[in-house]
Amino acid sequence: MRILVTGAHGLLGQKIAIIAAQESDHEILLTDKDRDTFFKNPRFDYQQLDITERGDVRSLVKNYAPDAIINTAAITNVDACETEKELSWRVNVDGLKNLIFPAKKLGTCHVVQISSDYVFDGRSKAAYTETDRPNPISYYGKTKLAAENALKASGVSGAALRTQVLYGTGYNVRPNFVTWVLSMLEKGGPFNVVTDQIGNPTFVDDLAFGCLRIAEAKANGIYHVSGSESVSRYEFARAIADEYGFDPESIGTTTSEEIGQAANRPLNSSFSTLKFESEFRYKPANVQQGLARLYQQYREGSKHLKVLFKHISQIEESGSDNA
């Protein structure tokens, strides 16, 4: 397959590249907004692309003629979306539309869009399935739902992969929950984590695997692709401390109301992942399994990425609280 990946410098985009590099049956074109790239692998090409630039997107898709597009490019800072609504809509919704139009003209191109648990209000039920009615309570969630609807209404072959609490290792990517907790633990002082936000922490390798398998199968519709275990952020933080040899007792408790985040969060957005697991015969990691796999990657250090990237002296961890 010829696969075009947008947002390739992000945590998920890098992992898709790593997994694809270990397989022999794909041709991959990686794209991002940056002019230069740290990717170095003979199996990959890289091209600068801003998905908000309609003409550039249409020209690239037409010329490359991919069999599948995996769109990982997004504004994922949930609080920033509340104050930068125009930008978040332009990237998260219009950016996808710019990809959909030339994909549809090709006729055989499949689009994989990354969505979020934030399409739900977190008040309706304990484990959301793909058929449950969305009700976003943040602007970020509204952009993700609008993108899902745009993909569905377009008639193009495509799938929306909803995920949540994404974590993992990457080069020069934004902070995620695990890296934030580790940075706080390393400082040694006590800190608080919310007990009332509950969901499925997702090891990025599992989501990247899901993106590639769904693109290969050209599966249509909505899929929940997340970790297989639901825990509170507080429980997850304590598990991180245990896995990395820190004292969990340094972690205190707080609530969403007490910390007063700019954007509303769904309090319990736990997923049922049965559809993805049964169709693709793959069970994503639970909390302990995911953290153990991440720890192994930390121990390997930059060796984990040198197969793909150049000019790496160290791994800089980062991401957002969602994909």
The pLDDT, as a whole number, for residue 319 is: 33
The pLDDT, as a whole number, for residue 43 is: 79
Residue 276, in any domain of the structure: yes
The pLDDT, as a whole number, for residue 303 is: 53
Residue that wins the pLDDT comparison between 308 and 212: 212
Residue 89, in any domain of the structure: yes
Asked if residue 283 has pLDDT above 70, the reply is yes
Domain that holds residue 42: 2-170+201-228+268-286+301-306
Highest-confidence segment of 62-71, 178-187, 306-315: 62-71
Task: Rounding to the nearest 10 degrees, give the CA dihedral for residues 257, 198, 213, 36.
Answer: 40
- Least reliable range by pLDDT among 104-108, 168-172, 241-245: 168-172
Residue 72, in any domain of the structure: yes
Q: Tell me the percentage of the chain whose pLDDT exceeds 70.
A: 93
Question: Phi/psi of residue 158, each to 5°?
Answer: -175, 165
pLDDT tens, residue by residue, 23-65: 778 899 999 999 988 887 777 899 999 999 999 999 999 999 9
Query: pLDDT-based confidence at 132, cuts 50/70/90?
Result: very high
Domain count, the chain: 1
Interval 187-208 mean pLDDT: 95
Interval 268-277 mean pLDDT: 97
Interval 64-69 mean pLDDT: 98
Asked if residue 316 has pLDDT above 50, the reply is no
Asked if residue 320 has pLDDT above 70, the reply is no
Residue 185, in any domain of the structure: no
Asked if residue 312 has pLDDT above 80, the reply is no
Residue 320, in any domain of the structure: no
Asked if residue 109 has pLDDT above 70, the reply is yes
For residue 157, give the CATH number of its domain.
3.40.50.720
Task: Rounding to the nearest 10 degrees, give the CA dihedral for residues 57, 46, 111, 319.
Answer: -100
Q: Tell me the percentage of the chain whose pLDDT exceeds 90.
A: 82
Residue 194, in any domain of the structure: no
pTM, rounded to two decimals: 0.92
Residue 67, in any domain of the structure: yes
The pLDDT, as a whole number, for residue 14 is: 94
Residue 126, in any domain of the structure: yes
